[in-house]
Amino acid sequence: MVKVLVLAVTGLAFSNGLMVGGHCARLTPRRMQPTRMKETTLDRLTGPKLFKTVTKTEGIHAVPLVPLRVLTGILMIHHGSEGGFWPANYGTPGFDGFVDFIVKPYFGFLPGDPALWSAIHDYAEFWGGVLFAIGFLTRPASLTLLATMGGAVYFHLASTGWQGFPFGHVENYSYNFEEPTLYALIFLLFFFNGSGPLSVDSIIYNQIGEEGEGQ
């Protein structure tokens, strides 16, 4: 009789749960488990993820890098072509003005011909902008463009100062050093992180990087 009762109780326990280490672990049927609500964009903006920092710029997080890189590079091409379409347009008012009003008074400490430094500046920004826009040799291009922007920040600070930064009001509604500072930060970002997707660098790395890692 006792044996029959033990078998009955054991069967009842297994019908409602699982005996583990003398304890009954309740098994919840799949259909009874609470369903997880799909996270919406509003949840990401108002929930805990509002405060989360992305640790890797991969997948969807890397998408904004493409227009940022391309448009920044195109704008740099414009900056490197004073006096014409191509860089180093000797004899044009734009090029000669850069030499006379920027290089000579503020970069006179550089050795050699001021016009040569103006040409180097133009080539660095023009061709560096091209490489940056297509994402080829992005890190060397970023470092070169970062150096030119450092020179631009120095020039503006030397010529007009801080202009009451950070609360000063100026006639053109922006500090003169503001634009090259923002450019410099963009180039610093890409120097450390690389070109991002849709770039020549990413295509090359997909070909040679995997082979190197597999050896």
Question: For 175-187, what is each residue's pLDDT tens digit?
Answer: 999 999 999 999 9
Please, which pLDDT band fits residue 32 given cuts at 50, 70 and 90? Answer: low
Please, which pLDDT band fits residue 14 given cuts at 50, 70 and 90? Answer: very low
Question: For 78-135, what is each residue's pLDDT tens digit?
Answer: 888 877 889 999 999 999 999 999 999 999 999 999 999 999 999 999 999 999 999 9
Question: For 168-214, what is each residue's pLDDT tens digit?
Answer: 889 888 999 999 999 999 999 999 999 999 999 999 999 987 654 54
Whole-number Å distance between alpha carbons of 40 and 26: 32
pLDDT attached to residue 68: 96
13 Cβ neighbours under 8 A, 6+ residues apart: 19, 24
